[in-house]
Amino acid sequence: LVARRLPSRNRFYADLSQCLFDFVIQLLPTQEEMQVKEDVRKLLERLIRTIEPDSRLLSFGSTANGFSLRNSDMDLCCLIDSDERLSATDLVIMLGDLLERETKFHVKPLPHARIPIVKLTLDPSPGLPQGIACDIGFENRLALENTRLLMCYAMIDPTRVRTMVLFLKVWSKRRKINSPYKGTLSSYGYVLLVIYFLVHVKNPPVLPNLQQMPPLRPITKEDTHVAGYNTWFFDDVELLRTRWHSENNESVAELLIDFFRYYARDFSYNTGVASIRAGLLKKLTKGWQNDLSAGRYHDSRERNRLCIEDPFELDFNVGRCVTKDGLYTIRGEFMRASRILANRPERAVIALADLCA
């Protein structure tokens, strides 16, 4: 019996892995889309320089970290390389006016938001059937660094890491559990859950811990700290590819099945903090416990249902938007996915369609 089951299990993993690659590939942005986005970035940079000549406009988020899907929005960050500069609030107001006058974008400046940004949208056109949505923020150097960290992780094992992450992004969007504003988790949060799983849960690990590897040469606080946070990580991916080799040979399908099982059943949501930097931490030691009963703590309790430590901003919980109901729904979805895949249906392609239905 065992001998008969094994080949069928392996065949299911092979089929499912192939289906995952095929599924993800057709969702990648086209060359044309990437070119249009780069043209938009250049155009916006040129316009911003008429206000702040020493500025640069850089991409972060999915357009820059290798986890982009077709029609994903653009996250842009404006850096100003001069000491005398306008405040972010003034810049947002001025840039908003300028873009309104000079471009076809619909412009929504949010100068008084916690992080002032300009929101832009462009109507659909033949080259861009879905239009463009773009946020421009200022001086968000930590976001540029965490984008670079995720990009390095993606490059170490592009096939397995990118396939898993891209699939989970589509899945979480289709299952409607990817809306921080509605109490569920951001894409950034899901990516951190995947990396945490591949670095700290899988044994042998699929990925090394880039923040804990010994540096090649001595480093000083000046080269490693951004906005007061240590952002150092081993970023020489070319060298890493020759020096580091994962002992873990599981297929994407096996990893995905195990990912769902782990977050459905095993992760300690009540007491644990997922940290890609340091492994599993305790809410208690971070002061993120959620068992405070007094009414005035209601807010902090809501904020720490699902705890994911930001890789650099260690006092920042990336899962802070997840509410009690949101977490219940997310865990329910992990369980549902785990159940569908554990049944190993006859055809992997049907399992995949079912997962994202």
- Of all residues in the shown chain, the one whose CB is closest to ligand GTP is 61
333 binds ligand GTP, rule: CB under 6 A: no
CB atoms within 10 A of CB 149: 22
Stretches 8-16, 20-28, 186-194, 347-355: which one binds ligand GTP (CB under 6 A)? 186-194
231 binds ligand GTP, rule: CB under 6 A: no
275 binds ligand GTP, rule: CB under 6 A: no
What is the nearest approach in angstroms of ligand GTP to the Cβ of residue 73?
A: 5
Q: Say which entry of ligand GTP, Mg ion, none residue 186 contacts (CB below 5 to 8 A, set by partner kind).
A: ligand GTP
How far is C-alpha 264 from the geometric centre of its chain's CA atoms? Answer: 20
Q: Out of 12, 188, 260, 269, which residue is the one contacting ligand GTP (CB under 6 A)?
A: 188
What is the nearest approach in angstroms of ligand GTP to the Cβ of residue 72?
A: 4
Q: What are phi and psi of 202, to 5 degrees?
A: -70, 135
Residues 68-107 that bind ligand GTP (CB under 6 A): 69, 72-73, 75
What is the nearest approach in angstroms of ligand GTP to the Cβ of residue 62?
A: 3
66 binds Mg ion, rule: CB under 5 A: no
185 binds Mg ion, rule: CB under 5 A: no
Q: Out of 13, 67, 260, 269, which residue is the one contacting ligand GTP (CB under 6 A)?
A: 67
What is the torsional sign of CA 218, 220, 226, 230? Answer: positive
Stretches 8-16, 27-35, 181-189, 278-286: which one binds ligand GTP (CB under 6 A)? 181-189
Cβ proximity to ligand GTP: between 17 and 62 the closer is 62
52 binds Mg ion, rule: CB under 5 A: no
Q: What are phi and psi of 219, to 5 degrees?
A: -120, 150
Cβ proximity to ligand GTP: between 144 and 348 the closer is 144
Q: Say which entry of Mg ion, ligand GTP, none residue 146 contacts (CB below 5 to 8 A, set by partner kind).
A: ligand GTP
* Distance of alpha carbon 253 from alpha carbon 305, whole angstroms: 29
Cβ proximity to ligand GTP: between 188 and 334 the closer is 188
311 binds ligand GTP, rule: CB under 6 A: no
Residues 45-64 that bind ligand GTP (CB under 6 A): 60-62
146 binds ligand GTP, rule: CB under 6 A: yes
Task: Give the footprint of ligand GTP on this chain (CB under 6 A).
Answer: 60-62, 65, 67, 69, 72-73, 75, 142-143, 146-147, 169, 186-188, 310, 313, 316, 318
